[in-house]
Amino acid sequence: MVIEATRREGRGTGVARRLRRAGMVPAVLYGGGSEPVALAIDSHRAQQVLRTAGHTVVHELKVEGGEQTRAILKDWLADPLHGNLLHLDLLRVAMDERIRVRIPVRTFGEPRGVKLQGGIFERVSRDIEVECLPDDIPEEISVDVSELMIGRQVRASDLPLDPVKIRLISEPQRMIAHVVAPSKEEEAPAPEAAAAAATEAAAPSEPELIKKTRKEAEEGEEGEEKGA
């Protein structure tokens, strides 16, 4: 994919706002042993590149009146409210030099621990970092989770990577996904116990005055019997 850019003069918030109002996105090209270059890229084109490529595609970058080089999208900043691109970072790449990139991880299949044991499938990490030549960058890494049971997991070291072309940079023990047991709910009281508790709660308590009068009456009867 070809990205056309122009050099931009000046830096700062004011310059960036004017560029965005003009339909451009501020960007910086760096790496490759050369000085960073401040650029401006058409906003529509930048959005298209981001949607279709992400971190994993090498682009042909053409700077108006300047250099032409291969580059990848290293990072970007977007407006969290509207999703508009605010800034792009582009990294120069040489096709014969290995680079580090983040690759998305996709899972497929329904875990047996969910179907047979009632477990819950959880995604923990959605990407990993690898090192490889630009031509060997995979768009994504897919892993089958069908055999996962409760207590089992997929870690970065379990992913299907070609060890000749791709070196794992992320921690091998990095959790990708696992199946966990559902949390235990509080046990409900037995129906008999619940009914008894409800009956006891519903029964009116005897007023203190009635208790006291009954006791005095009983004591009076006992006294009369003794006097007789």
Percent of residues, the chain, with pLDDT higher than 90 = 43
Over the stretch 20-30, which tens digit does the pLDDT of each residue have?
888 889 999 99
What is 2-93's CATH number? 2.40.240.10
Q: Would you place residue 220 in the very low, low, confident or very high pLDDT band (cuts 50, 70, 90)? A: low
The residue among 163, 128, 152, 121 whose CA lies nearest residue 142 is 128
Considering the entire predicted model, what is its pTM? 0.68
Query: Burial level of 168, CB count in 10 A (0-12/13-18/19+)?
Result: middle
Tens of pLDDT along 122-167? 999 999 999 999 999 998 999 999 999 999 999 999 999 999 999 9
**What does the alpha-carbon distance between residue 162 and residue 104 come to, in Å, rounded to a whole number?**
16
What helix, strand, coil percent values describe the chain, rounded to 5? 25, 35, 35
The mean pLDDT value for 167-190 works out to 82
At residue 187 the predicted structure's pLDDT band, cuts being 50, 70 and 90, is very low
Q: Tell me the average pLDDT of the chain.
A: 82
What does the pLDDT read at residue 186? 40
Domain ranges of the chain: 2-93, 100-180, 191-227
Band of pLDDT at residue 225, cut at 50, 70 and 90: very low
DSSP character for 122?
E
Architecture of domain 100-180: Beta Complex (2.170)
pLDDT one-digit tens code per residue, 189-207:
445 545 554 555 455 544 4
Say if residue 217's pLDDT is above 70.
no
